[in-house]
Amino acid sequence: MSNHTSEADLVATVANMAKLLPQIAAALPDGITPKSFATEAERLGGSIAAVQVINQKRKGAIAEKRATVKEVKHLLKRIREGVKGHYGDDSVEYSLVGGKRLSERKKPVRKPKVQKAA
Q: What is the per-residue pLDDT across 12-66, written as a single tens digit (0 to 9) for each?
A: 999 898 888 888 877 778 878 888 888 999 999 999 999 999 999 999 999 999 9
pLDDT class for 1, splitting at 50, 70, 90?
A: very low
18 membership: H or E segment, kind and range: helix 7-24
Domain ranges of the chain: 8-102
Angle between helices 7-24 and 34-87 (to 10 degrees): 170
**Phi, psi of 115, deg, nearest 5:** -80, 130
Give residue 105's region: left, alpha or beta (phi > 0; psi -120 to 50): beta
pTM for the predicted model, two decimal places: 0.61
pLDDT for residue 118 is more than 70: no
- Rounded Cα distance between 44 and 38, Å, is 10
Q: What is the pLDDT of residue 75?
A: 97
